[in-house]
């Protein structure tokens, strides 16, 4: 979670407000395969791609009204 004093434009409040930030791992195509081979593929995929920190979604939550929105910007989130 970010503890910076930056502001983010909130669509609901229609102004720059303080916010909190949460990173959530994007689901892998191997997450739904519960077989032994599927679990091995998931482990290999996770190991090769740097653990849970490879594919992340960035969500920002307005501290005034509580609106949570996806805010992926830049190369690191694509």
DSSP letter string over 24-78? EEPPPTTTT--SHHHHHHHHHHHHHTTGGGSSEEEEEEETTT--EEE---SGGG-
15 contacts 57 by C-beta, under 8 angstroms: no
Is 44 inside a domain boundary? yes
Domain count within the chain: 1
Using a cut of 0.85, tell me whether the model's pTM lies above it: no
Is 30 inside a domain boundary? yes
- Domain span at 67: 26-71
Is 57 inside a domain boundary? yes
Over residues 42-64, the mean pLDDT reads 79
Residue 2 has pLDDT above 60, yes or no: no
């Amino acid at each position: 979670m970010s503890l910076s004093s930056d502001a983010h434009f909130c669509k609901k409040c229609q102004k720059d407000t303080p916010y909190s930030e949460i990173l959530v791992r994007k689901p892998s195509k191997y997450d739904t395969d519960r077989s032994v081979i599927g679990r091995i593929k998931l482990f290999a995929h996770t190991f090769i791609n740097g653990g849970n920190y490879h594919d992340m979604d960035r969500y920002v939550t307005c501290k005034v009204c509580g609106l949570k929105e996806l805010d992926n910007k830049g190369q690191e989130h694509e």
